Chains A and B, each alone.
Chain A
Amino acid sequence: MKDLTLQLIDQVCQAYQQRTPLMIQGNNSKAFAGRTPHKNKAKDNVSTLSTAAHTGIISYQPVELVMTARAGTTLAELRAALDEHQQILAFEAPDFDGQATIAGTLATNLSGPARPWTGSVRDMVLGTRLINGTGEYLRFGGQVMKNVAGYDVSRMQAGALGTLGVITEISFKVLPRPEYSTGLTLELPASEAIVLMNQLAGQANPITGACWYRDQLHIRLSGAARAVDKTVTSWSQKYGFQQATQDNFWQQLQHQQLPVFTETGALWRFSVNSTADDLAPAVHQTGIEVSDSLIDWCGSQRWLRTPETLAEQQNTQLQSLQRLAENARGSVTLWQGGDRSQEINQTLNPVLERLHKNVKQAMDPAGILNPGRLYSWM
């Protein structure tokens, strides 16, 4: 448990004065996330700014449902502290072998299967302290559930991949551990599973997970024991669900350990309208072979595994998949694989791109914080 705030501020100030880029890094468990803008770090004068040793839980008040921790604190450490009070990180972010840190989780906005019901890491953030691109140490939000003073700079860090500031401290909401959880499964093709999971989510039942993988629809129920049991009985009778026996499917899904996440090739992530039809056949039609696919977040998040992209075809592929994503009212990212010096995220329209550049300029005028990690142009 160490407070390295002053050193971190010093390093950003120096980089700002010298106009040299910084690559922000926690435990490097998510090196795959975002672009890899620098082929030669030494040549580009890039230095690493490590938050890995800036660790520790600063405060935790179980009855307030609020925890505050330094950037480099691992989720594993947070979970251990929460466990003593039967509380959880409801956003269920992946652990990546115990290495994932709270700031890295926020910067990548990674949330697990319960996301449609209990919210994302972005939703749980109450406040942050961060260092902007000129080395100023700033505090936004706070440790209370409701706070509408000033712009919500804290939540804007979610998914920004460190391009807007060096997050040094985060306060977030935690929730009680559900009294009881159980899983249900049903063999079903993807397109039917998408409809059914959305129908189930529209009913007032204690559902906290809906995922389709390899012809199986998986439903997770959590909450008051009596309510869960009643739903198990009712849905088994009505739809033919089987109660899952001692499987660790939800654990593997949360921590991205299922084969779709670990196979070789390229992995595409679609974030779309939950009811959009299965994307695998449509992707296949564009001439890209889909070897595996998983539908999570009750249909809102789709993972598609394809063969490794060829560098010269990557942009064309991204554009075709972007059209599919837009039809499904969402967006696409080349999550893993491919040539990561090229663009990997959905192209933004000119107005949105200008706003992005302006926001980047407002937070990091010299462009020294993770430049190029999100888009080549910011």
Chain B
Amino acid sequence: MSKKINRKVSPMAQQAVDHYIEQSLLLNAAFPNDKVIAGRQRAQVLFAEQAFPTLRDEDWQYTKLTGFVQNRFESLGKHSLKLDDLHTFLPPYAVTKIVFVDGWFSEELSDDLSVLPNGVSFESTRDVFEVPGATDQLFGREDLINKTPFGVLNSLLMADGYYLQISANTLLETPIFVLYIQSLDNQMATVRNHVVLEENAEMTLVERFVSLSADESFKGCANVVTEMDIAKSARMKQIVVQEQNHSSYYFNNQFIFQDDQSTFNTFYTGLGSLISRHQNHLFMNGEHIENRQNSACFGRGQQTMDSRTNTQHNQVWGKSQQLHKYVLDDSAVGVFNGMIRVDRLAQKTDGQMDNKNLLLSAKAKVDCKPQLEIYADDVKCSHGSATGQIDQDQIFYLQARGILRAKAIEMITQSFLMEPAEDITNGNIRQWIMATLADQLNAKDSL
């Protein structure tokens, strides 16, 4: 959460602020809905006042936005993608496919959602705008969302997204796969999602962020806010794969609200983008809640890989587990920030957070800040963070069995990065993720 400080906004940042406010006015004109416009206007006041975070903001001191602020991303581009363009981005297992192009839901490219199983309903956020009264569900948590700088920008430029509801006792077996594809140069995809799992419902959500072109002269920005309500005894599994090209930007704020006995397992892998920041704000608002938040990030070149969690234990018998791993090569920067806060009501909390980092080059670096704030007296909490280089003894051990040095390093690095993915329970998805990680690691030498 950003602290209020007296800001001096640089001329460059001021131009960017003016530009994005102008973009929001264009959106207002294109999609005139009073409530949405009112939401954009509330965000506009905040955004004009706060502008973009700088290195002076405690939460942003390691994630430098000066380069980002020089961009003037636009919101209303019109794509012309065909189904054939998507094949390489689809996973090798059965899914229900939902496609967003440059932030806009594409009905043509998505599977036929009218035949979703009973108990599952999907609406694009833009359609929700058109339903009288329905927009309330988009603004219920506006104050919370607008506490984060990119939440404000999201509210300012909110354009599309989805509202997904799984009704009580519905077990959705086929994973929902959401593909966010950047197809046009210089577009900002502003996505606002809301997922609701009613009592005892279960689903798996796989989200993948890609760029149509790997060409670095082509850049885009994804700015996503997702709210998730996980009701009593409901079970939510989520996989987020971020593989945008290396000149793009990615900001994702997830606000998750768990009720009694629910479980939430999320895995994030950051592989692409020049700057990426993935953040979970997790509120454990019931008893006997369990969750796991894992991440695996691999950065190279000039990439900044920022991933953070804020886990709030608010009731008794909550269990949270986390494993976050980074592999950083070249001049890449990793940033990890994890906070576990245990309310005084949250006795018997079990909170574990672990962060491990492997640096493959002398110029790579990682800034990590695991934090615990505990106000209850009967809890079990731990956090740890360790950063190092590949253990020479491990390399020698493999070499002494006849494995080439380069292969030994590859095996050790791969296994290091894959550990957080081992908790993915769906075998197809786990293997797909591991193959994706292996491809990225093996591609590093070919760049």
Are chains A and B native binding partners rather than an unrelated pairing? Answer: no
